């Protein structure tokens, strides 16, 4: 084994972690090492990086969707995100979705270029360990052929511009299929080959075979259409000849369009070139120098040292044959064409190892660095937007907190002020009620005192006929009731209405000071505005009051004994009445109402008894007893009196007095006319009505004060209801604000969580970049 071979073996073994302590090895051990190495293939960097970035993008996708839904579902009252921001959040969903699609399609792409028949297809087949692409003498590849892995057992091809999957059973069929179609040289045929048949395809490497660079002038189109996303370029040279201008100029164009492309140079057909063993080393050195110069000095895609790792001398044909034998379980060296197979085979393995390392790192960098940076931009943007939204929610929280405090204070002050005003208004109403009671009582007493004048004003024709008299009495009662009512109204109503109105205004103003809502105040004013001022009802009801009035229109001699007794008892009646008033003043208003009402309902008996202590029957009995006593003893007594008087003053004087008494009697008897009867009737009526009206003075004043109390209390109650409504509204508003605040706090927690998720994703991308991009 030559020294060069030893170097190659140690190189490959070293890369796979296997120590080469002996130069005596066979190709079986190489194949075992190679198989073991697959698991640790440099391509795994790309595979793992792709899986990782896909996982991160799955998280980013979930995150942008979650964030958009959160922002979109925010309650309308929490106006912290505007329409433009929502649209921006939504746009991230589409962006991420587009990146994920590209990511899923991302693969490592290697493109093979060189002159026709240099063995490009053979190199690809050797790498894929199968005769996939047709190869042969002459121009066999007439368009771009891309070999990529597919799940499943069946291979198929898809032509450019078509979705039809054409079955490919074997290489002949594929060659026929490609030849039958008149394809343009820059069109692309995609060959899908089962992944499981080749580890390179399984690890997402895509191979692109091209027509010879010497057969086309459309090199720019080729590069634009097929090379811009290639991670590695392999220039397949024919080691039997020198690099041509066509090959050089193609790569010059490539290096102009792509910054520092990864270019490998394979001096293929080295088996044929090495036939003449004596010149082998000098030819190799010659080729090597030219290639190194080309890469490092002409293309300037790498340093000379790096270029030394990019130039190989191989035999694709031998390698392919060896691998086919190998796949059949036979020793690979059976595929050897000439001497030096092992060296060339090892160098092919070395190329593959370097190629795998290069393409993996390059693809990770060129493809995933971009995705990582776009993911980072999205994460940063969203983090910033969420930061702004959080700040806005904080401002809103503070505002709402301020409103809540003001509202709470207002509710508390309204409640305490309402209690204070209620106490004061109760006292005011009480004072006004007492005042009204006094005023009504005084006014009514004065009117009763002037009752005679009112009765005298009644001018209906009087007749003592009972039927006519009844009508007269009814009309008189109505006249007295109307007169008293109008007099009382004239004396009291205006002042009373003014007082009540001012009290109502005061109540309204004070209660309205507790309400902040102008709408409620306006509505309330409309409700409280009365169409007519307060009108007091005195309810004297003389008709019932004087229903027991019984006139006495019989002639009565004013100097008769009965009249004299009546005058005497009249004095007693006055005293009794005074005592009744005292008794009544001690009771409360309601009791007075009931007692007086009962009096009114049973007027003659009880009232007279309570007032006088002596009933009219008793008076008449007394009169009769006195008269009868005078009558029964008159004979003796009268004679005695007459005798004494006769004896004392003389019969003339006695006769004169008797005649005078008689004249007076006759005069009174003659003047007892209808007019006298009317006067007597009115006098009796005035006495009766005065007596009855005085009984109801307290009742009436209590009734009036009750009306005032009712009026003011109902006004105050209405105002309280209004304040209550306003307080209820404020409480409702407070609850809404509290609910809103709770909602803001919940949303702030969600925003924080989403912000943290953005930071987490950014951190994941950092780790990804450190592991897969910066370390390369």
Ligand X SMILES: Nc1nc2c(ncn2[C@@H]2O[C@H](COP(=O)(O)OP(=O)(O)OP(=O)(O)O)[C@@H](O)[C@H]2O)c(=O)[nH]1
Residues that bind ligand X (CB under 6 A): 114, 116-122, 135-137, 139-141, 211-212, 268-269, 271-272, 315-317
Nearest to 293 by CA among 248, 239, 344: 248
Identify which of residues 136 and 638 has a Cβ nearer to ligand X in the complex. 136
Could you give the CA distance from residue 380 to residue 750 in angstroms, rounded to a whole number? 17
Phi, then psi, of 216 in degrees rounded to 5:
-130, 150
Could you give the CA distance from residue 29 to residue 404 in angstroms, rounded to a whole number? 83
Identify which of residues 182 and 647 has a Cβ nearer to ligand X in the complex. 182
Radius of gyration of the chain (CA): 65
Could you give the CA distance from residue 303 to residue 297 in angstroms, rounded to a whole number? 8
Identify which of residues 312 and 685 has a Cβ nearer to ligand X in the complex. 312
Identify which of residues 85 and 240 has a Cβ nearer to ligand X in the complex. 240
Identify which of residues 136 and 631 has a Cβ nearer to ligand X in the complex. 136
Q: How far is the CB of 168 from ligand X (least distance, A)?
A: 17
**Are the beta carbons of 320 and 166 closer than 8 angstroms?**
no
Identify which of residues 63 and 313 has a Cβ nearer to ligand X in the complex. 313
Q: How far is the CB of 272 from ligand X (least distance, A)?
A: 4
Q: How far is the CB of 265 from ligand X (least distance, A)?
A: 14
Q: How far is the CB of 236 from ligand X (least distance, A)?
A: 6
**Are the beta carbons of 281 and 313 closer than 8 angstroms?**
no
Identify which of residues 126 and 254 has a Cβ nearer to ligand X in the complex. 126
For the record, the structure tokens of 351 come out as 């190329």
Residue 411 Cα distances to 407, 439, 508, 725, angstroms: 6, 41, 19, 12
Nearest to 53 by CA among 532, 373, 400, 320: 373
Identify which of residues 129 and 317 has a Cβ nearer to ligand X in the complex. 317
Identify which of residues 272 and 626 has a Cβ nearer to ligand X in the complex. 272
Q: How far is the CB of 320 from ligand X (least distance, A)?
A: 8
Identify which of residues 254 and 432 has a Cβ nearer to ligand X in the complex. 254
Q: How far is the CB of 215 from ligand X (least distance, A)?
A: 8
Could you give the CA distance from residue 717 to residue 700 in angstroms, rounded to a whole number? 25
- Residue that is written with structure tokens 């996303």 in the block: 229
Identify which of residues 316 and 503 has a Cβ nearer to ligand X in the complex. 316
* Three-state SS annotation for 441-486: HHHHHHHHHCHHHHHHCCCCCCCCCHHHHHHHHHHHHHHHHHHHHH
149 has which bridge partners? Answer: 193
Q: How far is the CB of 44 from ligand X (least distance, A)?
A: 29
Identify which of residues 184 and 597 has a Cβ nearer to ligand X in the complex. 184
Question: Which 3 state secondary structure label does DSSP give 376?
Answer: helix
Q: How far is the CB of 117 from ligand X (least distance, A)?
A: 4
Residue 523 Cα distances to 512, 516, 616, angstroms: 11, 13, 64
Identify which of residues 121 and 342 has a Cβ nearer to ligand X in the complex. 121
Q: How far is the CB of 139 from ligand X (least distance, A)?
A: 4
What is the b/e burial string over 716-753, where b = at least 16 CB atoms within 10 angstroms of the residue's CB?
bebbbebbeebbeebeebbeebeebbebbeebbebbee
Could you give the CA distance from residue 150 to residue 450 in angstroms, rounded to a whole number? 126
Q: How far is the CB of 174 from ligand X (least distance, A)?
A: 13
What's the sign of the alpha-carbon dihedral 317, 318, 324, 327? negative
Q: How far is the CB of 386 from ligand X (least distance, A)?
A: 56
**Are the beta carbons of 370 and 49 closer than 8 angstroms?**
no
Could you give the CA distance from residue 332 to residue 350 in angstroms, rounded to a whole number? 17
- Residue that is written with structure tokens 């009174």 in the block: 668
Nearest to 506 by CA among 605, 425, 402: 425
Angle at 332 between CA 331 and CA 338, to 5 degrees: 120
Nearest to 171 by CA among 205, 133, 216, 126: 133
**Are the beta carbons of 508 and 521 closer than 8 angstroms?**
no
Q: How far is the CB of 131 from ligand X (least distance, A)?
A: 10
Identify which of residues 234 and 722 has a Cβ nearer to ligand X in the complex. 234
Q: How far is the CB of 121 from ligand X (least distance, A)?
A: 3
């Amino acid at each position: 084994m030559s020294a060069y071979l030893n170097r190659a073996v140690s190189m490959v073994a070293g890369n796979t972690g296997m120590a080469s302590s002996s130069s005596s090895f066979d190709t079986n051990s190489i194949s075992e090492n190679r198989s073991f190495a697959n698991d640790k293939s440099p391509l795994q960097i790309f595979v793992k990086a792709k899986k990782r970035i896909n996982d991160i993008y799955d998280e980013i996708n979930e995150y942008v969707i979650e964030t958009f839904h959160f922002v979109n579902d925010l309650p309308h009252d929490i106006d912290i995100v505007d329409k433009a921001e929502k649209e921006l959040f939504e746009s991230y969903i589409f962006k991420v979705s587009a990146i994920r699609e590209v990511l899923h399609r991302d693969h490592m792409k290697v493109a093979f270029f060189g002159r026709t028949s240099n063995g490009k297809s053979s190199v690809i087949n050797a790498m894929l360990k199968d005769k996939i692409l047709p190869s042969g003498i002459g121009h066999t590849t007439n368009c771009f052929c891309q070999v990529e892995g597919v799940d499943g057992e069946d291979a198929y091809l898809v032509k450019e511009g078509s979705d039809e999957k054409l079955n490919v059973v074997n290489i002949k069929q594929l060659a026929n299929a490609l030849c039958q179609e008149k394809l343009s040289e820059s069109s692309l045929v995609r060959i899908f080959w089962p992944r499981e048949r080749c580890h390179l395809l399984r690890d997402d490497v895509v191979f692109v075979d091209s027509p010879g660079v010497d057969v086309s002038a459309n090199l720019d189109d080729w590069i634009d259409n097929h090379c811009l996303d290639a991670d590695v370029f392999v220039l397949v040279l024919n080691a039997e000849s020198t690099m041509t201008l066509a090959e050089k100029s193609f790569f010059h164009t490539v290096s102009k369009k792509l910054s520092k492309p990864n270019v490998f140079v394979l001096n293929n057909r080295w088996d044929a070139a090495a036939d003449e063993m004596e010149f082998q080393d000098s030819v190799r050195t010659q080729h090597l120098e030219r290639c190194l110069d080309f890469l490092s000095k002409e293309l300037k895609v790498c340093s000379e040292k790096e270029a030394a790792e990019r130039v190989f001398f191989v035999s694709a044909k031998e390698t392919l044959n060896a691998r086919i034998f190998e796949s059949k379980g036979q020793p690979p060296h059976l595929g050897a064409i000439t001497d030096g197979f092992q060296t060339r085979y090892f160098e092919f393995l070395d190329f593959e190892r370097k190629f795998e390392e290069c393409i993996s790192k390059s693809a990770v960098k060129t493809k995933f660095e971009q995705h990582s940076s776009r993911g980072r931009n999205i994460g940063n943007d969203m983090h910033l937007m969420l930061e702004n939204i959080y700040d806005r929610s904080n401002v809103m929280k503070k505002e709402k907190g301020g409103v809540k405090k003001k509202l709470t204070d207002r509710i508390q002050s309204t409640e305490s002020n309402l209690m204070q005003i209620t106490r004061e208004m109760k006292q005011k109403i009480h004072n006004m009620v007492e005042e009204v009671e006094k005023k009504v009582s005084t006014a009514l007493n004065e009117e009763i005192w002037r009752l005679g004048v009112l009765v005298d004003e009644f001018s209906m024709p009087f007749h003592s006929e009972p039927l006519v008299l009844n009508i007269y009495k009814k009309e008189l009662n109505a006249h007295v009731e109307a007169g008293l009512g109008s007099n009382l109204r004239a004396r009291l109503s205006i002042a009373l209405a003014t007082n009540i109105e001012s009290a109502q205004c005061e109540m309204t103003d004070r209660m309205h000071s507790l309400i902040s809502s102008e709408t409620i105040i306006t509505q309330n004013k409309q409700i409280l505005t009365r169409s007519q001022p307060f009108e007091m009802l005195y309810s004297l009801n003389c008709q019932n009051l004087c229903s027991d009035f019984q006139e006495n229109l019989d002639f009565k001699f004013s100097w008769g004994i009965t009249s004299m007794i009546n005058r005497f008892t009249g004095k007693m009646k006055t005293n009794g009445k005074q005592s009744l008033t005292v008794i009544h003043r001690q009771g409360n208003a309601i009791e007075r109402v009931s007692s007086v009402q009962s009096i009114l309902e049973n007027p003659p008996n009880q009232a007279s008894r309570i007032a006088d202590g002596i009933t009219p029957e008793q008076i008449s009995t007394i009169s009769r007893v006195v008269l009868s006593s005078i009558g029964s003893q008159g004979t003796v007594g009268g004679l005695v009196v007459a005798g004494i008087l006769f004896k004392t003053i003389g019969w003339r004087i006695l006769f004169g007095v008797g005649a005078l008494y008689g004249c007076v009697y006759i005069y009174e008897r003659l003047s007892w006319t209808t007019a006298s009867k009317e006067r007597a009737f009115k006098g009796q009526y005035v006495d009766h009505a005065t007596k009855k009206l005085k009984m109801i003075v307290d009742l009436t004043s209590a009734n009036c004060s009750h009306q005032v109390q009712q009026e003011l209390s109902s006004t105050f109650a209405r105002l309280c209801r209004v304040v209550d409504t306003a307080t209820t509204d404020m409480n409702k508003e407070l609850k809404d604000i509290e609910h809103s605040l709770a909602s803001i706090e919940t949303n702030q927690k969600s925003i924080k969580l989403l912000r943290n998720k953005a930071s987490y994703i950014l951190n994941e991308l950092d780790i990804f970049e450190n592991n897969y991009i910066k370390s390369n």
